[in-house]
């Protein structure tokens, strides 16, 4: 097991969350904003992107979420350039099941041979011999039966290429189905104060039925829940005006309140805000210090 994380600074306990035999602090970093515009190609300033990654580790963040198809291959390469050889307690989670098409859109890659190719790309570009956490990113209508894709990941786990399995874009039923076959250490679904509406409504293909039900299931089973788009892709303040008043009270920003709300919502939530800026990274990390009252949590959680 890696070293237990220090607990200082987290207003909403616990400070850490277990991922199988690993343990990480309950505020991670999502690497999707590191490549160029539209998560495609090189960033304007690769040195700045590497600074963000190094600063994340300096701050105490020891969980990074990435995927070979961010860039494609750009986010992973920047992570390796900035951080390899990796700190002993750093956990890098990846995703399989997606790919990028020439028009920059996001397509499925869920056939066993595509999943295997993706894992090889992750291992090569991250310079790893084994992937600590791999999410199976499975969306309805992607064409390959869920259990067939899961079995392909299990085969790679048996070969020692994958340490722990996780799921993304899944319903409670799919989580239960997977759990009947194998342990799952994390679920990564879209979840934020906007509840899937407002500016992120265009990402509805990422929505699953009953997101609260999936979170409740993970909370009961102590499975880490990674809310993606935790800042509604930077639109939380616009989508949820109530954040501004609560932010003023806490001398904080609306983005920080949105992250504090996630930490308060469940002890298994591990936010993975994405940013290409050191300033936003530091602001997001500091959100862990904000203690929201039960009234604040309820007001933010109200629809509308």
Ligand X SMILES: NC(=O)c1ccc[n+]([C@@H]2O[C@H](COP(=O)([O-])OP(=O)(O)OC[C@H]3O[C@@H](n4cnc5c(N)ncnc54)[C@H](OP(=O)(O)O)[C@@H]3O)[C@@H](O)[C@H]2O)c1
Binding site for ligand X (CB under 6 A): 30-33, 65, 95, 137, 168-169, 188, 206, 228-234, 255, 272-277, 280, 283-284
Instruction: Give the contacts of 274 (CB within 8 A, at least 6 positions apart).
Output: 29, 30, 31, 32, 33, 231
67: phi then psi, degrees, rounded to nearest 5: -165, 145
Closest to ligand X by CB, 152 or 186: 186
What residue spans of 127-231 are helical by DSSP H?
A: 146-158, 172-179, 211-221
Residue nearest to ligand X (CB): 274
Tell the smallest beta-carbon distance from residue 73 to ligand X (Å): 15
Taking the complex as a whole, how short is the minimal distance between the CB of residue 95 and ligand X, in angstroms?
A: 6
Pairing of strands 16-19, 224-228: unpaired
Neighbours of 302 (CB within 10 A): 10
Q: How far is the CB of 211 from ligand X (least distance, A)?
A: 13
| Closer Cβ to ligand X, 12 or 227, answer by number | 227
Between 211 and 274, name the residue whose CB sits nearer to ligand X: 274
Q: 72: cis peptide before it, omega within 30°?
A: yes
The CB density around residue 20, as the number of other CB atoms within 10 Å, is 17
Please report how close the Cβ of residue 188 comes to ligand X at its closest, in angstroms: 5
Beta strand 22-25 with 16-19 is antiparallel
**Nearer to ligand X among residue 16 and residue 192 (C-beta):** 192
CB of 157 vs ligand X, minimal distance in Å: 19
From the candidates 70, 86, 203, 225, which is the catalytic residue?
70
Among residues 272, 231, 233, which one has the least CA distance to residue 253?
A: 231
Dihedral pair phi/psi, residue 165, rounded to 5°: -100, 145
Question: CB neighbours (10 Å) of residue 209?
Answer: 10
Active site residue 86: no
Give yes or no for a contact between 134 and 165, defined as CB atoms under 8 angstroms apart.
yes
95 vs 161, beta carbon nearer ligand X: 95
Active-site residue list: 70
């Amino acid at each position: 097991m890696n070293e237990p994380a220090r607990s200082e600074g987290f207003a909403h306990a616990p400070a850490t969350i277990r991922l199988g035999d690993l343990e990480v602090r309950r505020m991670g970093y999502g690497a999707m904003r590191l490549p160029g515009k539209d998560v495609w190609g090189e960033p304007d300033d690769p040195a700045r992107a590497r600074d963000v990654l190094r600063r994340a580790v300096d701050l105490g963040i020891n969980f990074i979420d990435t995927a070979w198809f961010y860039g494609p291959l750009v986010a992973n390469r920047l992570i390796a350039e900035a951080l390899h050889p990796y700190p002993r307690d750093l956990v890098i989670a990846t995703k399989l099941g997606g790919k990028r098409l020439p028009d920059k859109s996001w397509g499925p890659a869920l056939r066993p041979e595509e999943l295997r190719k993706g894992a090889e790309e992750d291992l090569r570009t991250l310079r790893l011999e084994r992937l600590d956490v791999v999410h199976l990113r499975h969306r309805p209508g992607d064409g390959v039966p869920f259990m067939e894709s899961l079995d392909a990941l299990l085969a790679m786990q048996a070969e020692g290429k994958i340490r722990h399995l996780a799921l993304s874009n899944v319903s409670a039923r799919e989580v239960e189905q997977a759990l009947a076959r194998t342990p799952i250490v994390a679920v990564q679904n879209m979840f934020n104060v906007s509840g899937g509406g407002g500016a992120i409504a265009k990402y509805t293909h990422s929505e699953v039925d009953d997101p609260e039900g999936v979170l409740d299931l993970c909370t009961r089973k102590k499975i880490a829940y990674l809310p993606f788009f935790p800042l509604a892709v930077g639109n939380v303040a616009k989508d949820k005006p109530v954040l501004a008043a609560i932010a003023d009270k806490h001398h904080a920003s609306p983005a920080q309140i949105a992250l504090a709300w996630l930490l308060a919502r469940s002890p298994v939530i591990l936010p993975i805000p994405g940013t290409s800026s050191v300033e936003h990274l530091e602001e997001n990390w500091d959100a862990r210090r904000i203690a929201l009252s039960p009234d604040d949590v309820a007001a933010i959680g109200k629809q509308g």
